[in-house]
């Protein structure tokens, strides 16, 4: 046998009542339901309270409210009923509105509204809806009786929130049902005191009525029908990946609902659970859905926690001073003072030094709470042994709930890692020894970000998502987008990594979508985008406040790297192939690399040297494992490598430069390669990675081309100047070749200096083994002293560079919990 309860929204309209009829007729429910408990039609309870207040205040418009209410009930009746049932229903409705009008008129005349009369007025909502529904069900082929719960649920006279008497009530229900074999449509929320007056059961009263009926008849289950699929792992309005919890224990439901999961008010279902009757939350809009089952025992879950919840706006009040250290009775006075003001405390935390204690209240109660403390500790404050209470506002609480936490270590580590990694500062923490709930007080503006970060850490079965903001979609950025699109499914299916492209920009336009832009459509998306402005781009990126954000700079600009420090300070990791930041002023390089290390906010730039080859990470591993770099010799320019590897006299030097550009090896401006600036930047980056505090001016560069080439005003005139130098280059090559040597442009980093030179290399030189755009880095260290460590491979090109940037983005995803 089942007891079903339908809330106001489930009986609020014709469609809603149609759904109830369908539910009661489906095979799962047909002939299995013993009692249906209903609330008043949506809005009616509030309407009655408002009308009563108006009547008491002498405002005659209460009559209009009642007239509109009566019409609404009649309209619904007319939509479902034909005579003679329509007449019966309408005369019951008319009789009730007659009584209601008389009571309200009395209130109006007396100008007084007692709690007892208010309860009597409020009872009309449920009486009207339950009677109406019973008629409608009968008409639609489901025979049912109207049950006025005041006949059976007996309470004390605490009007507004009366307490029911279980034994008497259960006996009444059982005796009445023995005489009533049909389905019973019972009024929720209302009851009667022993002396026969109407009472109401307080907040969540209809849920309580359903639980009482369930307990009385020993129902197999009590179903609470509402407009959501059940209790979710988080508020779906804030956490897009939230999902329905299948089964939850009563205490867990209590904890989650305390922190904002307002699907039901758990204390109200206690009667059912005391009798071992499970409660199920179900959705009238998705009647086939299984809902959430609430039971009294803890039920196993594949996840370490059951859900994450929050209170979006609280105030934290701190009381501190030497006068409370070791003083017994201090907390009792503090909380006693708050209790006398009827203030509800949401969270308490006290350091074991006993020097301070802080607690959270709703912001509207902060002033009263602070005043209560001032009053209670007036003497201590005057004597300066206790400070004036300090109130902090604009805070939120995020709570992680689950009974499995008790037996699992590492939960709090995971929570605080997820918060810290996203730059969310924790203001206060509380965890009771029941280990059912870990609460953290955070800034209000971080609420959604914190919920998503923590939810992802626990529930997404290892799925890590990065919210990517990409600036620069030329050769490298464009190739990266293609790779992202191409790898999307493999990343998601095999590696559980999701890269969500939220923002994208080139030097003219930018576009955003927190749900994700299609990487393949960025060209079109940017055409319709807004004008690019780096400051605005950063502001937007920050204001999305998404967890696991990452910024990627695929420009060759100086302007974008200047923003890295600020981006890292916003706890957003940076990935880049752009060498400008690390080869600019040493102080800035140290600022951003130190910040990244100290705060654990990734700054990844593997592709700034030798494109996708693992050079930076290798140097870092050597240093971390205690090795010391003594000397690096390297060919660091893919462009120059390509040119000299192929410079055999068959093709002029300038033609090879054009070919390198066509192959995507050169910088956006190939003069940056040919004047060796690009190679020098990489040499400087390597030197700095080895701990040398060099500036760019300290790098000694042997020029490759005559100065006239660089006086050329644009790239085309540069190429024309270059052609003039072809003859001189050929001469130099031929002279080297005559001695069995070939030209290579090599960087040498040693003893605190970095220099680059055009060298003539013999046949056995490692630099002679290069092909195409290969780079090579030969590292001699304390450990690799006789035979140096060599990293070699393609050092330029769109695919390998974008691939390296991609790998850095994936590395960020992997650092997530």
Ligand X SMILES: NC(=O)c1ccc[n+]([C@@H]2O[C@H](COP(=O)([O-])OP(=O)(O)OC[C@H]3O[C@@H](n4cnc5c(N)ncnc54)[C@H](O)[C@@H]3O)[C@@H](O)[C@H]2O)c1
Ligand Y SMILES: N[C@@H](CCO)C(=O)O
Q: Is 55 a residue that touches ligand X (CB under 6 A)? A: no
Distance CA 334, CA 404 (A): 33
Beta bridge partners of residue 777, listed in sequence order: 634, 791
Kind and range of the H or E run holding 317: strand 307-320
Interacting residues with ligand X between 606 and 645 (CB under 6 A): 607, 611, 638
> For residues 444-473, which are near ligand Y according to CB under 6 A?
none
Shortest Å, Cβ 497 to ligand X: 23
At residue 480's C-alpha, the angle toward residues 464 and 495, to 5°, is 25
Please identify, using beta-carbon distances, which residue of 492 and 701 lies nearer to ligand X. 701
**Which residues, at least 6 apart from 761, have a Cβ–Cβ distance to it below 8 Å?**
741, 742, 743, 744, 746, 767, 768
For residue 109, what are the contacts with CB-CB under 8 A and spacing of at least 6? none
DSSP 3-state of 53: helix
Tokens of 604: 């990844």
Nearer to ligand X by Cβ, of 312 and 474: the residue is: 474
Residue 646 binds ligand X, judged by CB under 6 A: no
Minimal distance, residue 805 CB to ligand X, in Å: 8
Among 312, 664, 788, 803, binds ligand X (CB under 6 A): 664
Which of residues 436, 554, 709, 722 is near ligand X by CB under 6 A?
A: 554
SS3 sequence of 754-806: EEEEEEEECCCCHHHHCCCCEEEEEEEECCCCCCCEEEEEECCCHHHHHHHHH
What is the Cα–Cα distance from 799 to 638, expressed in whole angstroms? 13
For every residue of 345-364, DSSP letters joined together read P-EEEE-TT-SEEEEEE-GG
Residue 292 or 801: the one with the smaller Cβ distance to ligand X is 801
- Restricted to residues 357-416, the positions that interact with ligand Y (CB under 6 A) are none
Nearer to ligand Y, 206 or 608 (CB): 608
Q: Which of 667, 721, 742, 808 binds ligand Y (CB under 6 A)?
A: 667
According to DSSP, residue 164 is labeled B
Nearest-CB residue for ligand X:
474
Binding ligand X (rule: CB under 6 A), the pick from 505, 517, 674, 704 is: 505
- The 3 state secondary structure assigned to 435-481 is CCEEEEEEEHHHHHHHHHHHHHHHHCCCCEEEEEEEECCCHHHHHHH
Dihedral (CA of 614, 620, 624, 629) sign: positive
Residue 682 is a catalytic residue: yes
Distance CA 411, CA 429 (A): 14
CB–CB of 235/310 below 8 Å?
yes
Binding segment for ligand Y (CB under 6 A), chosen from 102-110, 154-162, 214-222, 661-669, is 661-669
Q: Which is nearer to ligand X, 559 or 735 (CB)?
A: 559
**CA distance to 311, 635, 681, 689, per residue, from 684 (Å):** 50, 13, 5, 8
In angstroms, rounded to a whole number, what is the distance separating the alpha carbons of residues 491 and 498? 7
Q: Does 128 bind ligand X (CB under 6 A)?
A: no
Least distance (Å) between residue 606 CB and ligand Y: 11
Establish if 550 lies at the interface with ligand X (CB under 6 A): no
**Interface residues for ligand Y in 775-804 (CB under 6 A)?**
795-796
**Minimum distance of ligand Y from residue 769's CB (angstroms):** 18
Q: Which helix (H) or strand (E) holds 743?
A: strand 742-750
639 binds, among ligand Y, ligand X, none (CB under 5 to 8 A by kind): ligand Y
What is each CA distance from 630 to 32, 44, 753, in whole angstroms? 83, 83, 11
Report which of 373, 392, 368, 404 is spatially closest to residue 441, judged by C-alpha positions.
Answer: 392
Q: How far is the CB of 746 from ligand X (least distance, A)?
A: 19
Among 169, 801, 806, 812, contact with ligand X (rule: CB under 6 A): 801
**Contact status: 657 vs ligand X (CB under 6 A):** no
Strand partners of residue 192? 154, 198
Annotated active-site residue in 154, 682, 731, 792: 682
Collapsing DSSP states into helix, strand and coil, what is residue 370? helix
557 binds, among ligand X, ligand Y, none (CB under 5 to 8 A by kind): ligand X
193 or 555: CB nearest ligand X: 555
Contact between residue 594 and residue 564 where contact means Cβ atoms under 8 Å apart: no
Q: With binding defined as CB under 6 A, does residue 665 bind ligand Y?
A: yes
Peptide bond preceding 111: is omega within 30 degrees of 0, i.e. cis?
no
Residue 632 CB, nearest distance to ligand Y (Å)? 16
Segment interacting with ligand X (CB under 6 A) among 103-111, 316-324, 475-483, 739-747: 475-483
358 binds ligand X (CB under 6 A): no
238 lies in the site for ligand Y, by CB under 6 A: no
Are the CB atoms for 582 and 609 separated by under 8 Å? no
Q: How far is the CB of 648 from ligand X (least distance, A)?
A: 23
Structure tokens that stand for 481 in this block = 């987008």
452 binding partner (options ligand Y, ligand X, none; Cβ < 5 to 8 Å by kind): none
Asked if 579 touches ligand X (CB under 6 A), the answer is yes
Which among 102-110, 219-227, 361-369, 659-667 is the span making contact with ligand Y, rule CB under 6 A? 659-667
Binding segment for ligand Y (CB under 6 A), chosen from 178-186, 288-296, 505-513, 660-668, is: 660-668
| Count of residues that bind ligand X according to CB under 6 A | 31
- Verify binding: residue 666, ligand Y, rule CB under 6 A: yes
456 binds, among ligand Y, ligand X, none (CB under 5 to 8 A by kind): none
The answer to the question of residue 43 lying near ligand X (CB under 6 A) is no
For the record, the structure tokens of 809 come out as 């983005």
- Phi first, then psi: give them for residue 200, nearest 5 degrees: -125, 160
Q: Which of residues 626-645 bind ligand Y (CB under 6 A)?
A: 637-639
Give the containing element (helix H, strand E) for 395: strand 390-401
Helices (H), 693-740: 707-711, 715-738
Q: Is 475 in the site for ligand Y (CB under 6 A)?
A: no
For residues 743 and 731, the answer to whether their CB atoms sit within 8 Å is no
Q: Kindly tell me which residue out of 472, 529, 573, 793 binds ligand X, with binding defined by CB under 6 A.
A: 472
| Residue 506 touches ligand X, criterion: CB under 6 A | yes
Quote the DSSP letter at residue 152.
T
Residue 678 binding ligand Y, by CB under 6 A:
yes
Say which entry of ligand Y, ligand X, none residue 709 contacts (CB below 5 to 8 A, set by partner kind): none
Residue 476 binds ligand X, judged by CB under 6 A: yes
Q: Which residues make up the interface to ligand X (CB under 6 A)?
A: 471-477, 505-507, 532, 534, 554-557, 559-560, 577-579, 607, 611, 638, 664-665, 667-668, 796-797, 801
Looking at the annotation, which residues are catalytic? 682
Q: Which residues make up the interface to ligand Y (CB under 6 A)?
A: 611, 637-639, 665-667, 673, 678, 795-796
């Amino acid at each position: 046998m089942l007891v079903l309860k339908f809330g106001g929204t489930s009986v609020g309209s014709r469609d809603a009542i149609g759904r109830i009829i369908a539910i009661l007729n489906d095979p799962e429910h047909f002939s299995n339901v013993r009692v249906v408990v209903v609330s008043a039609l949506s809005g009616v309870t509030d309407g009655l309270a408002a009308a009563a207040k108006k009547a008491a205040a002498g405002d005659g418009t209460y009559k209009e409210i009642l007239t509109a209410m009566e019409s609404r009930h009649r309209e619904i009746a007319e939509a479902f009923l034909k005579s003679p049932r329509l007449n019966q229903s309408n005369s019951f409705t008319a009789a009730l509105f007659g009584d209601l009008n008389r009571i309200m008129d009395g209130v109006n005349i007396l100008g007084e509204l007692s709690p007892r009369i208010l309860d009597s007025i409020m009872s009309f909502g449920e009486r009207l809806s339950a009677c109406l529904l019973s008629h409608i069900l009968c008409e639609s082929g489901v025979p049912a009786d109207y049950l006025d719960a005041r006949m059976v649920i007996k309470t004390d006279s605490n009007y507004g929130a009366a307490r029911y008497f279980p034994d008497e009530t259960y006996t009444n229900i059982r005796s009445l049902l023995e005489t009533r074999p049909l389905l019973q449509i019972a009024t929720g929320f209302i009851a009667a005191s022993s002396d026969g007056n109407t009472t109401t059961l307080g907040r969540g009263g209809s849920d309580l009525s359903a639980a009482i009926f369930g307990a009385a008849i020993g129902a197999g289950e009590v179903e609470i029908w509402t407009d959501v699929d059940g209790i979710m792992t988080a508020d779906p309005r804030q956490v897009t990946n939230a999902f329905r919890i299948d089964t939850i224990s009563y205490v867990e439901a209590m904890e989650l609902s305390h922190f904002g999961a307002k699907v039901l008010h758990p204390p109200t279902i206690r009667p059912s659970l005391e009798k071992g009757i499970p409660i199920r939350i179900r959705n009238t809009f998705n009647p086939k859905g299984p809902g959430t089952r609430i039971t009294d025992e803890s039920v196993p879950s594949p996840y370490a926690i059951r859900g994450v919840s929050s209170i979006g706006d609280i105030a934290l009040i701190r009381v501190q001073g030497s006068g409370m250290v070791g003083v017994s009775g201090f907390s009792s006075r503090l909380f006693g003072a708050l209790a006398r003001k009827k203030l509800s405390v949401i969270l308490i935390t006290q350091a074991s030094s006993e020097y301070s204690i802080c607690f959270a209240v709703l912001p509207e109660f902060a002033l009263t709470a602070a005043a209560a403390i001032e009053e209670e500790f007036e003497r201590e404050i005057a004597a300066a042994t206790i400070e004036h209470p300090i109130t902090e506002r604009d805070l939120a609480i995020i709570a992680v709930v689950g009974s499995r936490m008790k037996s699992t270590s590492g939960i709090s580590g995971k929570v605080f890692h997820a918060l810290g990694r996203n730059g969310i500062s924790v203001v206060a923490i509380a965890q009771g020894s029941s280990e059912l709930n870990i609460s953290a007080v955070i800034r209000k503006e971080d609420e959604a970000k914190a919920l998503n970060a923590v939810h992802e850490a626990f529930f997404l079965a290892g799925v890590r998502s990065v919210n990517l903001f990409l600036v620069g979609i030329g050769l490298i950025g464009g190739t990266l987008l293609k790779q992202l699109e191409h790898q999307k499914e493999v990343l998601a299916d095999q590696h559980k990594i999701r890269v969500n492209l939220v923002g994208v920009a080139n030097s003219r336009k930018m576009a955003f979508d927190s749900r994700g832009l299609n990487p393949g459509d960025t060209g079109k998306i940017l055409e319709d985008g807004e004008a690019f402005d780096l400051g605005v781009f950063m502001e937007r990126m920050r204001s999305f406040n998404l967890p696991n954000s990452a910024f990627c700079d695929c420009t060759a600009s100086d302007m974008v790297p200047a923003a890295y420090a600020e981006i890292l300070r916003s706890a957003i990791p940076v990935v880049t192939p752009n060498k400008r930041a690390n080869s600019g002023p040493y102080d800035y390089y140290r600022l951003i690399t130190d910040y990244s290390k100290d705060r654990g906010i990734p700054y990844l730039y593997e592709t700034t040297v030798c494109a996708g080859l693992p050079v930076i990470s290798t140097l870092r591993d050597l240093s971390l494992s205690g090795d010391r770099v003594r000397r690096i010799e390297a060919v660091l320019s893919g462009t120059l490598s390509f040119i000299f590897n192929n410079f055999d006299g068959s093709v002029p030097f300038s033609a090879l430069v054009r070919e390198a550009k066509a192959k995507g090896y050169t910088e956006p401006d190939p003069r940056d390669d040919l004047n060796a600036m690009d190679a020098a930047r990489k040499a400087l980056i390597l030197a700095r990675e080895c701990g040398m505090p060099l500036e760019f001016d300290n790098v000694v560069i042997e020029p490759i081309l005559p100065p006239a080439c660089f006086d050329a005003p644009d790239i085309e005139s540069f190429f024309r100047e270059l052609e003039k130098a072809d003859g001189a280059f050929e001469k130099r090559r031929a002279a080297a070749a005559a001695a069995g040597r070939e030209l290579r442009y090599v960087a040498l980093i040693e003893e605190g200096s970095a220099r680059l030179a055009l060298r003539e290399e013999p046949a056995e030189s490692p630099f002679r083994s290069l092909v195409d755009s290969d780079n090579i880095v030969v590292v001699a260290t304390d450990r690799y002293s006789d035979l140096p460590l060599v990293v070699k491979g393609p050092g330029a090109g769109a695919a390998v560079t974008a691939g390296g940037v991609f790998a850095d983005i994936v590395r960020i995803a992997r650092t997530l919990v």
